[in-house]
Structure 1
Amino acid sequence: MTETIADDIVAGAHRVSVPRGYRFELVKLVSQWRIRLLVLACWIAPALFVAAVSQQSSLPSDTLFGRWMHTTGWAGSLVVLGFAGTWALPLLTSVVAGDVFASEDRLGTWRHLLVAVRSPRRIFAAKALASLTVILLLVAGLACSSAAGGVVAVGNQPLVGLDGQLLTPADAGGRVLLAWVCVLAPTLALAAIGLLGSVALGRSPMGLLLPPLVALAMQVAQMLPLPVAVRLALPGYAFTAWNGLFTSPAQVGPLLIGIVVSLVWAVLATALAYLLFLRRDFTNLAYDGCGRSAITTGLLPLAGLAALTVAVVAVATPSTGSGIEQDKVQRSVATAFAHLYRMQTQQLNRPAVTEAHLRVTAACNKSGGQVAPEGAGNDWRCVVTWHLPGVAATGTAIYQLDVASDGRFVADGDGPKEVNGYFLVRTPIGDAPNPLWQFDGNVELLDTTPKG
């Protein structure tokens, strides 16, 4: 009888496997009311938002692809993606990963969990995997819901890319899906930072605030006139680098760099959280964070990684300065105008032309030529010229450009009025948006396009 009881005790003392611990932690997360609300919101709210905005007379034209929400359902998903990268995803990683360890400190349940699992390593793995699963579920909800809402409300129509090229519905849908997949990398980086904050800061609310604060700092850095190497070496750049997928050919260089940097940050931050977790004293009921070791073990390695990635990117890429140069701007404007001019020609039932026939060129300067034509700013001015077959006169159009530091620009038509002076053009089947009135473009920061 005694031997049987002893055997039962030994059997009950076996460590819980990672899959069992993962299922347990996943159930704990999903059972929280705020997680359930977030899942419902991510799977329902984007569809309702895109469908509602698509039916409005005024569109968020200051948002990338917002001006095309009346034209194709895929534009709405990209509008949601832009908002998610700026606000939603940092907050979601904060609520999920930033609280997964701190909640045990607040509730004082570490002793019970250790007795049940009997392995801090497996506890960390189970909690990290459970939080990752929930975050992936939330991101998938944002992507699927926004795409479904747009396609149902507007339709599966072609999408105008950032170079004016018209993407087929299948191509547009594939690129939209790929763009959502690409932002998983910086999302994982923020989630890993949330895990690190949750472990290092204990029950302190700063653990929850760490991912959005880091995301905000990276957004501010992207708005500053920083060199290309610094901009690309920050994991937050991948939240906007998906823009390059919507040009032909795709500008994948900056995107790939942003993804690799984000994944390196994710691995390092997770490893640091793991080391801090294994070194903590679970017998101390008054534990309230790692204190000084949170700085030496958590903050300093990440700062060193930032310096290292800046150095590596600076050596690996040929670009210097802001990456926004006169010839790049001129090529981007001329390419987009040529594609969009063909679209306007089709709308007005005029004789078809090709980009080769048009021979579009652009002459751009900054501040009326008073400053060097480089860098971001809203003082760019471009004069576009083109040639029509059989017409001796040369066509000209003027655009005022607002170029952001990440290379995205908005070209606002400034005449002549019959080309880009009106928001709508009169077509045989009714009024339609004038593609030349205002359009978005993208200047690749890296020097990968041949000059000339």
Structure 2
Amino acid sequence: MTATVAEPGVADVRRVSVPRGYRFELVKLVSQWRIRLLVLACWIAPALFVAGVSQQSTLPSDTLFGRWMHATGWAGPLVMLGFAGTWALPLLTSIVAGDVFASEDRLGTWRHLLVAVRSPRRIFVAKALASLTVILLLVAGLACSSATGGLVSVGDQPLVGLDGHLLTPGDAAGRVLLAWVCALAPTLALAAIGLLGSVALGRSPMGLLLPPLVALTMQIAQMLPLPVAVRLALPGYAFISWNGLFTSPAQLGPLLIGIAVSLVWAVLATALAYLLFLRRDFTNLAYDGSGRRAVTVGLLPLVGLFAATVAVVGVATPSMDSGIEQDKVQRSLATAFAHLYRMQTRQLHRPAVTEAQLRVTAACNKGDSQVAPEGAGNDWRCVVTWHLPGVAAAGTAVYQLDIGSDGRYVADGDGPKEVNGYFLVRTPIGDAPNPLWQFDGNVELLDSTLKG
């Protein structure tokens, strides 16, 4: 039996606590010039962009809600959200989370950090929390800045939803905020993938490029004619499914599934990064990542998660086809037309009508009835029919539809001219944009989903 006697004058060395390590890592991140520049850009540039575009005569009508940027300030943050989900957020997560561990490899400071903190676990937690804080700050800047730019330049006006119904300014504000909050889930998934790449690949630039590459792959997959279950299993689907918040009733099924999948990916990727970090050799100053371990511990579990998610979604919902069917297209177009027809009626100061009185129906075919009426494409043609009280003859209008694989479509009016054949209508107070000329819509891909 032996006893250990502490030498006099030797201080009791304690590990640095997680809060102290978090503050230290946060200060390190914020002190970098590129992070400061990103924060400044995210809190200023969106406001200038939205305000500038809203004052132009030509609007980004090919972007969701872009055609309404003249009408309401709440369209601007939604246009910015669409851009952010495609380009900005993957790049931001790459610069912040994708470099938080690799920077120590480049600088060769791991031994100093380990001596100071004396706990790899606490180092990982502190770095992950610091990068999460900066990412949340950047996302908040994008949302607040774009909303401010829209409200200041255009005003707090009602917003037209994806089914043509009018959202009050208060309702629009709440849904815009909720849409940005929902986008945090896939952002966290990309950030976790960035952490995993930063740990697994060391100084290799591939760790920094991993989030944008994953995001680009998911964007390409969304453009392909894949089954709905495969789309929902991708962690970036919540960047698209927030569209369902702007219909009445809200299409919550795809959105909730997309959020859940994103959060599961975020948790698993973070856990894998944690395991790899604890197993790495910090004594090797030339460490450039372990390729075999990155595949076995990093890549394969994520591939397995994707396959399992596809199986679960496919079993839980009837979603092994494109989800775009003739009945859904006709129902969505008829609903949107009825709402927008009432808007045009108010513009022209005509007697008010209700959707029940209009009894709008739509008859659609694809490829001039030469192909099955299902799936995405720009060869959809629809004839909309409606009735007015006291008028025996029914009104008809023709629309050409371009439907994307994600269910979003653009309906382009093809006559008659007095209804949808021209982009302006002549009102008692002057010409105004014609809401029936061209509008966006959304086909719900799931046959049965949660309604809200």
Instruction: Determine if the TM-score, normalized by the shorter chain, exceeds 0.5.
Output: yes
**2:9 maps to which residue?**
5
2:89 is equivalent to residue 89 of structure 1? yes
What percentage of residue pairs aligned between the two structures are identical? 88
Aligned-residue CA RMSD in angstroms?
A: 1.0
2:233 is equivalent to residue 233 of structure 1? yes
Separation (CA, whole Å) in 1 of partners of 2:9 and 2:93:
45
Separation (CA, whole Å) in 2 of partners of 1:113 and 1:75:
46
Separation (CA, whole Å) in 1 of partners of 2:193 and 2:420:
47
SS state at 1:86 partner = helix
Where in structure 2 are the equivalents of 1:53-452 lying within 5 Å?
A: 53-448=53-448
Q: CA deviation at 1:208?
A: 0.5
Separation (CA, whole Å) in 2 of partners of 1:56 and 1:335:
30
Separation (CA, whole Å) in 1 of partners of 2:394 and 2:325:
26
**1:45 maps to which residue?**
45
Which segments of 5 or more consecutive residues in structure 2 lack a partner in the other structure? 1-5
2:194 and 2:210 in contact (8 A); partners too? yes
Separation (CA, whole Å) in 2 of partners of 1:412 and 1:136:
38
Q: CA deviation at 1:126?
A: 0.1
Q: CA deviation at 1:215?
A: 0.3
Separation (CA, whole Å) in 2 of partners of 1:408 and 1:366:
16
Q: CA deviation at 1:436?
A: 0.1
TM normalised by structure 1 equals: 0.97
SS state at 2:349 partner = coil
Separation (CA, whole Å) in 2 of partners of 1:434 and 1:448:
33
Q: CA deviation at 1:431?
A: 1.6
Paired letter, 2:9: I
Q: CA deviation at 1:318?
A: 2.0
Separation (CA, whole Å) in 2 of partners of 1:207 and 1:224:
27
Aligned length: 445
Q: CA deviation at 1:5?
A: 2.0
The CA deviation string for residues 89-145 of structure 1, in whole angstroms up to 9 with x for no partner, is: 000000000000000000000000000000000000000000000000000000000
SS state at 2:237 partner = helix
SS state at 1:286 partner = coil
Structure-2 change in CA distance of 1:191 and 1:275 (3 Å):
same
Separation (CA, whole Å) in 2 of partners of 1:181 and 1:171:
15
SS state at 2:419 partner = helix
Which segments of 5 or more consecutive residues in structure 1 lack a partner in the other structure? none
Paired letter, 1:38: L
Separation (CA, whole Å) in 1 of partners of 2:431 and 2:229:
45
Paired letter, 2:289: G
SS state at 1:35 partner = helix
The CA deviation string for residues 63-94 of structure 1, in whole angstroms up to 9 with x for no partner, is: 00000000000001100000000000000000
Separation (CA, whole Å) in 2 of partners of 1:22 and 1:282:
21
Q: CA deviation at 1:311?
A: 0.3
Separation (CA, whole Å) in 1 of partners of 2:304 and 2:137:
32
Q: CA deviation at 1:4?
A: 5.9
Paired letter, 1:97: A
Deviates more, 1:419-428 or 1:369-378: 419-428
2:81 and 2:180 in contact (8 A); partners too? yes
Q: CA deviation at 1:285?
A: 1.1
Paired letter, 2:267: V
SS state at 1:38 partner = helix
Q: CA deviation at 1:449?
A: 7.1
2:253 and 2:449 in contact (8 A); partners too? no
TM normalised by structure 2 equals: 0.97
SS state at 1:225 partner = coil
Q: CA deviation at 1:429?
A: 1.9
Moved over 6 A (4+): none
Q: CA deviation at 1:3?
A: 6.2
Separation (CA, whole Å) in 2 of partners of 1:364 and 1:204:
52
Separation (CA, whole Å) in 1 of partners of 2:223 and 2:302:
21
The CA deviation string for residues 128-180 of structure 1, in whole angstroms up to 9 with x for no partner, is: 00000000000000000000100010000000000000000000000000000
The CA deviation string for residues 391-431 of structure 1, in whole angstroms up to 9 with x for no partner, is: 01110000000000000000000000000011111112222
SS state at 1:369 partner = coil
Paired letter, 1:159: L
Paired letter, 2:196: L
Separation (CA, whole Å) in 2 of partners of 1:5 and 1:421:
90
